[in-house]
Copies of this chain bind each other. A is one copy, B any other.
Amino acid sequence: MSPLPVRRRTRRIQVGSVAIGDGAPIVVQSMTNTDTRDWRATVAQIERLQAVGCELARVAVPDQEAVDQLARIKSHIQIPLIADIHFDHRLALAAIRAGVDGLRLNPGNIGGREQVKKVAAAAREHELPIRIGVNSGSVEKDLLALHGGHPTPRAMVESALRHVRLLEDENIDRIKISLKSSDVSNMVEAYRLLADQVDYPLHLGVTEAGTLVQAAIKSALGIGILLHQGIGDTLRVSITGDPTQEIPVAYGILRALGLRRRGVEIISCPTCGRTEIDLIRLVEQAEQRLRVVQTPLQVAIMGCVVNGPGEAREADVGIAGGRAGGILFRKDRKPQKVPEQQLLARLIGEIESITGESIGPVESEP
């Protein structure tokens, strides 16, 4: 693994028990898509997010009924809770009273200076961090006009700095900032510009990225290019679908860049005319069964002897297909021949022995 460029220096903030910025591990977060007013459904979704590794949960707080559920939701979950608020400063005040661990709120859109003062006073009192979240769709009309009518990276940065100054004027410095766009190049450029101008931690994300595969592509590109340049302290992968899908994508990005490790990474070849075992099925079955493993582990499942053994030897454990079965590898051990029918079971057995974790049969999806 090649070393990454030096991480950008930032201040550190605390969102409940979770540290963000200044060298802390890059934090994986998500947002519920339940109706926040339905506290049971919201808690259930946050529990599923927690179970796959989500470290911060954000919920939409569109009205008083939603804010009324926050204390109850908070009392039922283990990870910090962030309230996402637009327009109404009274919801922000009520969310703070309810005990949330952070706000996502743009101070420029809550009604005026007096409203900002009130929210800032409450946030200071509770030492609560605020995320300023600029989206390309939320850039103010006067800034759009100054930038040719489009939410350019510069327009997004200026919008963010305007919100930042409103908070700084109230002596708030527990700030993180996001500059999300559905345009990857614009998003990358916007964060790079901002990173040169402030030392607040940055929350990375590509917004409105579509369903699972397209969202994985766009998020890996936008978030990955920035992380590779040392920029970014927390991230959210946005997917149109069940938010629990977002977490493995987030860890996939962080793992591939050597920034976080969690669970099994499967190295498997695309198969070709040389493949003589049913590799695709084997990989899919292994992927299903290994999803429960928490220990970071690299598992190779290779179709042939041309690239297979070489790649598999770099992994912690692996198999490579041959003519009448395959070869089982494990770091620093002699490879063993195994018949095709036993390959998966033997691989699972080795992984149980390495990790000390018990790998049951396939779990049913929620």
A interface residues, Cβ below 8 angstroms from B: 1-2, 4, 31-37, 42, 59-62, 66, 84, 86, 135-139, 150-151, 153, 182-186, 188-189, 207-214, 216-218, 220-222, 224-225, 228, 238-241, 243, 246, 248-249, 252-253, 256-258, 265-275, 279-280, 283-284, 287, 300-302, 306-311, 313-314
| A-B residue pairs, 3 tightest by C-beta | A137-B310, A60-B273, A220-B220
> A1 contacts which chain B residues (CB < 8 A)?
183, 185-186
Instruction: With A185-B2, A307-B207 as known contacts, state yes or no: A240 contacts B270, CB within 8 Å.
Output: yes
Flag if A33 contacts B273 (CB, 8 Å).
yes
A110 to B256, CA, bound (A): 33
Of the candidates B240, B306, B314, the one whose C-beta lies within 8 Å of that of A269 is B240
Instruction: Choose among B209, B243, B257, B300 the residue that contacts A184 (Cβ–Cβ < 8 A).
Output: B257
Interface of A, secondary structure class, is mixed
Q: B273 near A210 (CB under 8 angstroms)?
A: no
**Given A208-B267, A243-B270, A257-B184, A220 contacting B213 (CB threshold 8 A):** no
Residue pairs across A and B with Cβ atoms less than 8 A apart, 8 shown, are: A31-B272, A66-B273, A184-B256, A185-B258, A207-B311, A212-B213, A213-B248, A224-B225
B239, A270: Cβ atoms closer than 8 Å: yes
Check B268–A210 contact: CB distance below 8 A.
yes
Among B36, B220, B309, which residue has its beta carbon within 8 angstroms of that of A217?
A: B220
